[in-house]
Structure 1
Amino acid sequence: MNAKTAGALLALVLPCAASAAPVDVDAWAKPVDAKVLQWRRDFHQFPELGNREFRTSKIVAAHLRSLGLEVTTGVAHTGVTAVLKGGKPGPRIALRADMDALPVTENSGLPFQSKQVSEFRGEKVGVMHACGHDSHTAILMGVAEAMAKHRAELSGDVLFVFQPAEEGPPDGETGGASQMLAEGIFKTFKPEAVFGLHVFSTLNAGQVGYRSGPLMAASDRFNIVIKGRQTHGSRPWGGIDPIVAAAEVVTSAQTVVSRRQNLTKQPIVLSFGAIKGGIRYNIIPDSVELIGTIRSFDNDMRDQAFKDLENVAQHVAAAHGATAISQIPDKVGNPVTVNNPALTAQVLPSLRKAAGADNVVEMTLTTGAEDFAYYANEVPGFFYFVGATPKGQDPNTAPSNHSPQFFLDESALPLGTRTLLQVAVDYLNKAE
């Protein structure tokens, strides 16, 4: 059964669902609040890149085992899953958190600021939880503990998914959500719904953001190498300058979106993230590498962007006497993250109950991407945002996720714990 069919069946059974006795989620969550805070600070101080979450996954697995759960390690390299069986029969759901950090040198000034260094694409880099995955892991550990303590009151079973490499695996490796699915986590435990959350700088602490239907963009990475011919910087006519050609490719590529796409249909973004070429001031190099990303919500627009960028790279390079070796995209990207409408309608009252109705806001389309999309393509999914920027600070100008100054207001932790608990418990027990 595909996600669309499952969503249709879900819509049919929702009106017939009977409600169980309400659960005091705040009482369930309070005993784990201090632990969630401690875990988050520890993970923040000792972050690990994708497929290298060895310390993090060891701590996660040990905690889950201490709760008496059925734990599996080494999934998609460093992933951890655990199954909790409720005291009464009922539905099966999955709750997911990501564990990986980013190649970013932290500049937050926190007393538990990361000082970790690792290697990324052949370079020494700082490592930071600049996207908040440390908080996601800590929150789900707290939710697992709260649910395990009250398992006798739960109807149904829960799969806890602690995923590596959400930001993408290292070059030449597999990983992330698609790899966890390929290794069968939804075959041995088939949930009827999957839930996840993400702390987000564009919302203030205390707020929760959601959207029914498409929420986050598809993401694709591209790689373009402009090949010229090396020569002395004093004699540019003696070679072919790939730097000038690459600069014009970057400039001309801006028309791929602004002049080639119907932006009244859906948004689309094309951005370059790195330009690498040359090593000395007076040597024109042989080649320049360009890497970047395309974000989209429509498959036809996505495919057209690939074709147009390839066209720009080839013809601009040729105009300079250079050649372009293009990989557009350079591997399979993330699909659009879509919240199942029927599931969204079902869980929205739970979000409002846990956060307060005035604090739950509907989001516009978000051009950030998430590999949670793979899970939501398998079964109906619901993914939502928890505000990270302190109250009183403008979230539009606050350091964003992926910034070296990214700052999480730690009041997001208890709110994340309570909202995820409320959504999960209500879903399980309303099906009685």
Structure 2
Amino acid sequence: MRRLFAVSTLALLLAAGSTQAQAVDAASVDDAVQRVTPRVVDWRRDFHQHPELGFAETRSAAVIADHLRSLGLEVRTGVGKTGVVGVLHGARPGRVVALRADMDALPVQEATGLAFASTATGTYMGNTVPVAHACGHDMHMAMLMGAAEVLAGMKDQIAGTVVFVFQPTEEGAPPGEPKGGAALMIAEGALNDPKPEAIFGLHVVPGRPGSVFYRPEGFMAASDRVDIVLRGKQTHGAWPWRGVDVIAVAGQVIETVNTLTARTVDPTTTPTVFTIATVDAGVRYNIIPDSATLSGTLRTFDVAQRDALVARAETAIDHVAAAYGATAEFGVRQNAALVFNDPGLSAWLAPVLTEAAGAGNVNPATPPTTVAEDFSYFQQAIPGVFYHLGASPDGVDPAQSAPNHSPEFSPNEKVLPLGVKTHVLTALRFLERR
């Protein structure tokens, strides 16, 4: 009887395995991607002409939600203020995987010369500012919309579920907001019901068009915002000794930050960048003001090393201010955690990306980069991998092409089909895993 039960159990397991969706061949994916590409290009250009700042992506979210509903997906809107979550259930049950794209634009005056360049404006810190997709999020939305269409068309061949996450406010929480887009979406249940086993995302960056690159473990730096307020005593510019010169203190603080980073951190073990980027002080050429405000960014790959540098910087800045008779307030707020690519998933992903991009076009061991991404918060909740697509203009040396956040940043639309294909194959191959 026991043997009969064992044989029956084995038969059931084999039968269950045989009902699982067979691997979708790459040629079918290619054909579907080519069919959707003209629409992907149109979506990208439409988003590019209508950029929206973080937590204001109402038009973008509506376009995305309407498209996902037209494909028959379950759609939730308003997740993390303006975020959109779409759920595609395959014909049979199976694993759950998530794909993510970001939606927000930047307060940048576009200078690309594109026929569909942005002329939009928005409100940032109480001011009316130009707005542009100077980071490529227009490309990301269009690629993931295309991937959703391709995968929805293969629903009958899919065993499992794909969750599409369209995230607002990747560029950091606006002033007054406690959380950015990824953290807020997670807090509001973006990764619940169903809960994905893994999440994947991509970003267009300067690089050879058609290339894909990433690395296991620490790939993109943790990002902290640093704010320093110096307080002194206002005086006439001709009588500096009768006040406390915060301009001189600010100069010494900047030099101290630069020296601390260069002389107390081993650059061969962990890349570290500590930059003071803004100085706001004074209103008139002959008045030494009573206060100065500095802000900057700290990029790190090691938590303990980051904490030690922050502690040293706060102590040193207090001492510099005290030496002049001034006081200093020092604050640090994390904008994004370390993008940590799961080692096992990173190794598994390399042949999948090669299937999408072709032999010789995938580098799974690229050096780390000091730019940051709040995709990292999704990776803290579930395992994930984030990778980059080279998207420099044709004939332009990637080292010389305009970087993300530049007014001239103009990613190559020829990589749009590759982005759709990497999304689609990543989801399919993950769901097909035994």
Structure 2 counterpart of 1:189: 194
| C-alpha distance in 2 between matches for 1:72 and 1:344 | 29
The alpha carbon displacement at 1:144 in A equals 0.7
Listed one character per residue, the Cα deviations across residues 353-404 of structure 1 (whole Å, up to 9, x for unaligned) are 1111111123111111111111112221011111111243221122111111
Structure 1 counterpart of 2:274: 270
The 3-state SS of whatever aligns with 1:185 is: coil
Structure 2 counterpart of 1:67: 71
Q: What are the ranges of 5 or more consecutive residues in structure 2 without an aligned counterpart? A: 1-19
Matches within 5 A, 1:50-199: 50-173=54-177, 174-199=179-204
Equivalent residue in structure 1 for 2:261, among 242, 257, 272: 257
Structure 1 counterpart of 2:424: 421
**Structure 1 range deviating more: 217-226 or 271-280:** 271-280
Contact 1:77 1:175 in 2 (8 A): no
Q: Residues 346 and 288 (structure 1 numbering): CA distance in 2 closer, same or farther, change over 3 Å? A: same
User: What TM-score comes out, normalization by structure 1 length?
Assistant: 0.92
**Structure 1 range deviating more: 388-397 or 351-360:** 388-397
The 3-state SS of whatever aligns with 1:184 is: coil
The 3-state SS of whatever aligns with 2:276 is: strand
The 3-state SS of whatever aligns with 1:376 is: helix
Instruction: Tell me the amino acid that sits aligned with residue 47 of structure 1.
Output: P
| C-alpha distance in 2 between matches for 1:18 and 1:298 | 42
| C-alpha distance in 1 between matches for 2:210 and 2:200 | 19
The alpha carbon displacement at 1:19 in A equals 6.2
The 3-state SS of whatever aligns with 1:309 is: helix
The 3-state SS of whatever aligns with 1:225 is: strand
Structure 1 counterpart of 2:326: 322
Instruction: Tell me the amino acid that sits aligned with residue 207 of structure 1.
Output: S
Structure 1 counterpart of 2:357: 355
Contact 1:70 1:82 in 2 (8 A): yes
Contact 2:235 2:288 in 1 (8 A): yes
Contact 2:100 2:201 in 1 (8 A): yes
Listed one character per residue, the Cα deviations across residues 306-363 of structure 1 (whole Å, up to 9, x for unaligned) are 1122122211112222111111x1x234221111121122221111011111111231
| C-alpha distance in 2 between matches for 1:375 and 1:356 | 28
| C-alpha distance in 2 between matches for 1:219 and 1:40 | 28
Contact 1:20 1:430 in 2 (8 A): no
Does residue 232 of structure 2 align to residue 228 of structure 1? yes
| C-alpha distance in 1 between matches for 2:350 and 2:153 | 25
Q: Residues 18 and 40 (structure 1 numbering): CA distance in 2 closer, same or farther, change over 3 Å? A: closer
Structure 2 counterpart of 1:388: 391
Structure 2 counterpart of 1:341: 343
Contact 1:130 1:402 in 2 (8 A): yes
The alpha carbon displacement at 1:249 in A equals 0.5
Q: Residues 386 and 21 (structure 1 numbering): CA distance in 2 closer, same or farther, change over 3 Å? A: closer
Percent identity over the alignment?
49
| C-alpha distance in 1 between matches for 2:301 and 2:424 | 30
| C-alpha distance in 1 between matches for 2:343 and 2:21 | 20
| C-alpha distance in 2 between matches for 1:106 and 1:160 | 29
Structure 2 counterpart of 1:3: none
Structure 2 counterpart of 1:4: none
Instruction: Tell me the amino acid that sits aligned with residue 343 of structure 1.
Output: L
| C-alpha distance in 2 between matches for 1:255 and 1:57 | 45
Contact 1:18 1:430 in 2 (8 A): no
The alpha carbon displacement at 1:21 in A equals 4.7
| C-alpha distance in 1 between matches for 2:433 and 2:205 | 29
The 3-state SS of whatever aligns with 2:413 is: coil
Equivalent residue in structure 2 for 1:218, among 222, 225, 231: 222
| C-alpha distance in 1 between matches for 2:247 and 2:109 | 27
The 3-state SS of whatever aligns with 1:188 is: coil
Listed one character per residue, the Cα deviations across residues 57-116 of structure 1 (whole Å, up to 9, x for unaligned) are 111111111111111111111101011001122110000000011122111111111122
Contact 1:193 1:379 in 2 (8 A): yes
Q: Residues 144 and 374 (structure 1 numbering): CA distance in 2 closer, same or farther, change over 3 Å? A: same
Equivalent residue in structure 2 for 1:28, among 6, 11, 32: 32
Structure 1 counterpart of 2:6: none
| C-alpha distance in 2 between matches for 1:218 and 1:314 | 25
Contact 2:79 2:189 in 1 (8 A): no
| C-alpha distance in 2 between matches for 1:38 and 1:256 | 49
| C-alpha distance in 2 between matches for 1:18 and 1:164 | 33
Matches within 5 A, 1:266-305: 266-305=270-309
Return the index of the structure with the highest Cα Rg: 2
Q: Residues 44 and 319 (structure 1 numbering): CA distance in 2 closer, same or farther, change over 3 Å? A: same
Equivalent residue in structure 2 for 1:397, among 400, 404, 414: 400
